[in-house]
A and B are shown apart, each in its own frame.
Chain A
Amino acid sequence: MIIYAKRDMKNPIENLNKIFDSRIRLGIMSALIVNAEVNFNELKELIQVTDGNLASHIKTLEESDYIKVEKGFIGRKTNTTYSVTKAGEKAFKAHLEALEQMIKSME
C-alpha cells in the first residue's frame, strides 16, 4: 500500500466503499443496476445463497439507502421486489471508479 504514497497520489483505497466489500452485496447491486427490479427468489438464484444470508445483506443495503424494497403480492404469495436508489447507483459507480483507479495505479 505504501506504493501509492510514493507516487504522490491520493490513496484510492479510501474511495472503495466498505459496504461493497462483501461479494454478496456487490452481487445484489450488480443485478439491480441492470434490472429495473428483481425479486427475492431471483436474487437467491443468481447469487446462490441461503435465505437468511441474503436477507441480512439486503438489510445492510437497505439501511444505507442503496436499495428500495417493495412488498407486493402475486395472488396470495408475497412478492418482495428490490430496486436500486439514486444514492445506491451513485455509490456503486464511485466504487467501480475506485476499483479502476486501484488497478491502474498498480500496473
Chain B
Amino acid sequence: MVKDTGAQGSSDALRALSLPVPLPVKADGQGNPVTVQLKGRWLKVESMADRWRIDDEWWRSEPVSRLYYDCMVDQGLKVTVFHDLVAGQWFLQKA
C-alpha cells in the first residue's frame, strides 16, 4: 500500500470502484434469493446472514432503492446481492 501523496488528480481520469454486476438469481415467492449463478454455476443459497434495504437519492430521476441480502452459498462462500427495486434486476455487490 502506498501513501496518499496528496497530488491533485483530474476528474476525467476517475474510475468507479465496486460497481455492482448484473447477476442471474432465482427467487422464491417472497422475493428472497434461492439460487445464484456465479462463474457459470448455479449455487444454492444455504443461509441468509443479513438483509437490509436502502432508499436514497430520491431527488434524482433514477432513485436508488435496493433490498440487500448477505447470503452464504456453496460451502461457506459469502456473497452480497441486492434486488434493484427500480430496475427490477438482481446485482452482485462487490466489496
Chain A complexes with chain B? no
**Which B residues lie at the A interface, using CB under 8 A?**
none
**Which A residues lie at the B interface, using CB under 8 A?**
none
